Amino acid sequence: MSTVPSTIWRMLAQRTARKPLPRGLDAAWDAAGGALARLAPRRARFLGEAARVLAMEKEFAELTEARLREQAGQMRELFARGRERPDDRLRAFAMVREVASRQMGMRPFLEQVACALALEAGCVAEMATGEGKTLSATMPATIAGWRGRGCHVVTVNDYLADRDAAWMAPVYRFCGLTVSAVQGPMAAPDRRHAYRCDITYCTNKEITADYLRDRLALGRLSNLSSALLARLVDGSGAGTDRLVGRGLHYAIIDEADSVLIDEAVTPLIISGDAPNAEQVEAYVQAAALAPALVEGRDYRLNQRYREVDLTAEGRRRAEGLAAGLGGVWAGARRREEMVNQALVARHFYLLEKQYVIDEGKVVIVDDFTGRLMPDRTWREGLHQAIEAKERLTVNPPKDTFARISFQRFFRMYRKLSGMTGTAAEAWREFWQIYHLPTVVIPTHRPIRRVHLPDRVFATDEARSRAVVEEVARMHQAGRPVLVGTRNVRASENLSALLTAVGLEHAVLNAVRHREEAQVVAGAGAAGRVTVATNMAGRGTDIKLGRDVAEAGGLHVIAAERNDSARVDRQLFGRSGRQGDPGSAVAMVSLTDELLARYAPRLGGLLRRRYAAADGEIDSASARRVIDAAQRRSGRVALRQRKDVLRTDDWLDEYLGFAGRET
């Protein structure tokens, strides 16, 4: 393998970067193409091909282990040379099925093979929770490994990357492939070795950060020719010898909706310290000034976009309050920016919702997963404004060395596919942003989960009482209960209420997360009660304990609707896995954040109408308003993600001298 061509990520990315998002009539034409592509009978085709794969089972089952290993070697040579015929792909899948059966005691069934075929065809496959996506990915990953250009299997956290790589390794090694996992604490030599393997399991954050670090190492090199010339001239490789990556050929994205949609808005940034004592002091001063301004008179809040607008009176008052401070406060624009940021931190970024304090530091909590993100900071002074608000040590803002959004990064791959339990709602976005068609794979066994209608309450207090009563009722019936909350604060408040009535339970959130896999794995035991943020929605199956199925299975309660219907469906999907019985219900309040942000007027009308109510409300109109607010939230989020991608395109066009990917 040639070292320079195989490690220069930028040169590969330049050839594979996709076109900017279309606008106007082009956008309408592209959307129409996506709608037509959705009508294609892909599911029937993949299920038909999967049946042909299963029909080859006897042929491979009769082979000795030595003969099966020999056939794997022949398959590798065939795919490495690019001489495979259409039917060779199906034979390869059949062979991997047999290998998985012998090495792991797990033979992929029809629907898993159909999912694998969808991945190989460059689709996003929706496959229900517990249906075996991890095993499905081994088939297209094996073929990609045989082709010799590397395959990245991308997931949402280090634990899953390490677990899945170790779990599936026997299959890959039997097929003559090397496999490894990239972990956060890894040193550069270990990362380089991991990326040199045929199949590399990693997280979206780690591989994107490695790409940016390699971009910085490349410096001014703009193409493959200049890299080769620099290597000949100075002999050191001109930075190429420090690269860890191998290129961006094929990625299989596990939890594709989380990686490609939910986390796509936040750019990943490589930054460095930029000490500025005067600016640090200004954040402390702004935090002290903010409480003196009055909402409604001096500023207005935009709940939907989490923005603050200073009024003319507010600008005059800010000028008066800052009189005599000097420095950055002397200029009107900078003064208003500082005050605005302090007000945003004060009203929209709350302790145990958007962040926690860990060892004296502000640590971001991911909105969609509920997990801590200790290596991330908010940009444009927001992180410093929150530190000042909490009276912590304010760290100076950092200089940005390189940045890229996950959207832009994953669009650089020559080939991309994904799998998740919830893709159908986002089919338009998968097509518009990534040109990936979506395929819904049927479950192996019929779904027996009962989805109960939403229960609506006038106040948060009434809803909380009802949640505790529902948990107690299910606990008494011997059924396990999983209660999903939106943030740390809500999970801790509910925990206190359960403790007050003597209900034993486990809590899983960004603060109490170290035993995540064990807590979730044991959440299906009889009478077990688990309170969790969204982090319990992905990665680990909840298997039912003894006699639990006869009692009705796992009962899932969403203690509040999320901004995204997909996140709710992920939570509900924890019950009723692989044909098990189960049930799910959402309990919502008219005071919930979803209504306040995305349906403030209608939500206000409902609150006034049911102001005297103290219990549950039987209101179809309230349910319709909640559904409408969730749909509006999805539209707003999609516009934001498109804006991020267009910003990347703008930077690429007008700041081209800085490099295409920086």
- Give the angle subtended at the CA of 447 by the CAs of 444 and 452, to the nearest 5°: 160
- Helix or strand run (H / E) with residue 555: strand 554-558
Residue 266, pLDDT score: 72
pLDDT of 453 > 70? The answer is yes
Strands 448-451 and 581-589: parallel
Which residues in the chain are classed under CATH 3.40.50.300? 3-268+406-440, 448-622
pLDDT band of 252, cuts 50, 70, 90: very high
For 464, 499, 531, 560, the CA distances from 493, given in Å and listed in that order, are: 9, 10, 10, 13
E strands, 319-457, in order: 355-358, 361-365, 372-373, 398-405, 415-420, 438-440, 448-451, 455-457
Q: Which helix (H) or strand (E) holds 582?
A: strand 581-589
CATH class of 3-268+406-440: alpha beta
Q: CB of 350 within 8 A of CB of 390? A: no
Token pair recorded at residue 265: 């808005």
Question: Which pLDDT score is estimated for 1?
Answer: 39
CB burial readout 429-463, b (16+ within 10 A) else e: bbbbbbbbbbbebbbbeebbbebeeebbbbbbebb
What pLDDT is attached to residue 8? 43
Tens-digit pLDDT profile for residues 181-204: 999 889 999 999 999 999 999 999
Give the model confidence (pLDDT) of 498-529 as tens digits.
999 999 999 888 676 556 767 777 889 999 99
Contacts of 562 (CB under 8 A, 6+ apart): 486, 534, 568, 571, 594, 630
CATH architecture of 275-396: Alpha-Beta Complex (3.90)
Tell me if 244 sits within 8 A of 210, measured CB to CB: yes
Q: Which two three-digit tokens encode residue 197? A: 């393997």
CA angle 160, 163, 169 (to 5 degrees): 130
**pLDDT tens digits, one per residue of 309-357:** 999 999 999 999 998 888 889 889 999 999 999 999 999 999 988 899 9
- Token reading at 412: 């650089």
- Cα(74)–Cα(131) distance, integer angstroms: 31
User: What is the rounded distance in angstroms from the CA atom of residue 514 to the CA atom of residue 517?
Assistant: 8
Residue 651 has pLDDT above 50, yes or no: yes
Q: Give, in degrees to the nearest 5, the angle at Cα 580 between 519 and 515.
A: 5
Locate 175 and state its tokens.
């097929």
Mean pLDDT of the chain: 87
In 179-244, DSSP assigns E strands to 179-181, 199-203
Mean pLDDT (whole number) for 552-563? 94
**Beta carbons of 455 and 576 less than 8 angstroms apart:** no
Q: Who wins on pLDDT, 228 or 28? A: 28
Pair of tokens at residue 24: 């106007």
Longest Cα–Cα distance of the chain, Å, equals 88
Instruction: Say which residue the tokens 């009276």 belong to.
Output: 391
Q: Candidates 1.10.1060.10, 3.30.70.360, 1.10.3720.10, 3.40.50.300; correct CATH number of 448-622?
A: 3.40.50.300
pTM over 0.75: yes
pLDDT higher than threshold 70 for residue 9: no
Q: What pLDDT does residue 55 have?
A: 97
Percentage of the residues of the chain whose pLDDT score is greater than 70: 89
